[in-house]
Amino acid sequence: MRLNLVERYIFRKALIALIAATGGLVGVVWVVRAVQQVDVLLSKGQGIVTYLQMTTLGVPTLMAGIIPLGLLIALCHTISNLNNDSELVVLNAAGASVKTLLRPFLALSLAATIVVYTLHLWVGPTSMSTLRDFVTKVRADLISIIIQDGKFQDVGRGVTFHVASRAPGGELRGVFILDGRNPKETFTYLAKRGTVSKVNGNSFLVLQDGQIQRLSRENDNLSVIRFNSYAFNLTSFSPAKKSHAGSFTEVSTYHLFYPNTEELLFKNKPGDYRAALHTRLTGGLYCLMIMFLVLAFAASPRTTRNGGSWALAYAATTAIVLRAIAISAEGSLRIEANMVYLVWGIPVLTISLCLYLLATGRQIGLPARAEDRMEDLWKRTIESLSRWGLRVTPNNKTSGTTP
């Protein structure tokens, strides 16, 4: 798609706005995730590199949902600037049609759609799977990296470790483990020595010369088992990789298309596979839906700055409401298979309707009387704020006629 000089100018403005909006939103999300994971750096003894890896691997999945919102902000910002600077009026007076906005906006939206589909179908699941493996590895190395001599430390829900000392070669002396993850019974492991070893990708703490104390919480019965050697599975602190922990963000798209019907997770939650698959397949369509909505509401030049602002507000509100309904439908798809028609129907029908309106030269908007009432309500709001000492300068109407 070759763009002329004016279209390249509009495309450049929209692209800069998209990068700024998406970058800002991603930065906010990353900071929130980083704050949530700060305990990895402070309490679990991990380095800054490990901390950054753990907080960054989940960003691609979040970006897939952020890019359509960034595109909405970018397109509204671009049209608002073009309208406020009377550039849309000049272009229209020079004989330019809606295609002058459609072509650069379509090019930008197609690029955003490709990025979203890449994140949804490949990069996102891969990064989340890598994050899961990374977390499993970190937790599996708790003994050799995190546990400090002479301190009782909680390393998981209901699990406490204590190591008296470390001998040369990495051998642990005086190992104490309290495992209270089972609500019916508590296990206490005591051993004189212990070493960490890995077998087939799993980490084990091999305890030697010790005992296991099993305490029943129902009747307080205590049983003691002595052992010469016992392997304690450290990988058990993380859910098994194949179970996905009830989350489908790290499941590959291929696995969603062709699930293992014998897998326990598929038998328990077949609807979750369906919902995750259709959510990924429709994710990129919302970039196109948002673009056509903005054009259907606000592509025509406005003689008043206020009118242009209201049109953009209608477009943004409509896009957000439709996306909220779609998210609700995606959640319901786990239970009701017929919701797939709504999941696909919202973006496809909206795009089709907007294409029809643009092709016939029509525009979406409130009736003139309703817009006048909105204008009056806005002016009264400004006057009320002024009485309270808050100075708000409304956009004044500009003179001129729409060509």
For residue 159, the model assigns a pLDDT of: 84
Q: If 0-12 CB within 10 Å is exposed, 13-18 middle and 19+ buried, where does residue 162 land?
A: middle
Please state the rounded mean pLDDT for residues 351-371: 78
Q: Dihedral, CA atoms, 113, 119, 121, 122, nearest 10 degrees?
A: 140
Give CA–CA dist 173/163, Å, rounded.
Answer: 6
Say what percent of the chain tops pLDDT 90: 36
Give CA–CA dist 88/72, Å, rounded.
Answer: 19
Of the given ranges (125-134, 286-295, 345-354, 388-397), which has the lowest mean pLDDT? 388-397
Helix, strand, coil percentages for the chain (3-state, nearest 5): 60, 15, 25
Burial readout 374-387 (b: 16 or more C-beta within 10 A, e: otherwise): bbeebeeeeeeeee
Kindly report, residue by residue over 175-216, the tens digit of the pLDDT: 999 988 888 899 999 999 988 777 765 678 889 999 999 998
Task: Indicate the DSSP class of residue 148.
Answer: P
Give CA–CA dist 65/78, Å, rounded.
Answer: 21
Contact in structure between 275 and 331 (CB atoms under 8 Å):
yes
For residue 47, the model assigns a pLDDT of: 59
Element at 156 (helix H, strand E)? strand 153-156
For residue 260, the model assigns a pLDDT of: 82
Show the CA angle centred on residue 94, arms to residues 90 and 98, nearest 5°: 80
Give CA–CA dist 247/256, Å, rounded.
Answer: 12
For residue 391, the model assigns a pLDDT of: 58
Of the given ranges (177-181, 254-258, 361-365), which has the lowest mean pLDDT? 361-365
The yes-or-no verdict on residue 342 having pLDDT over 90 is yes
Q: At 25, is the pLDDT very low, low, confident or very high (cuts 50, 70, 90)?
A: very high
Q: At 328, is the pLDDT very low, low, confident or very high (cuts 50, 70, 90)?
A: very high
Say what percent of the chain tops pLDDT 70: 77
Kindly report, residue by residue over 71-100, the tens digit of the pLDDT: 999 999 999 888 888 787 787 777 667 778
Contact in structure between 241 and 200 (CB atoms under 8 Å):
no
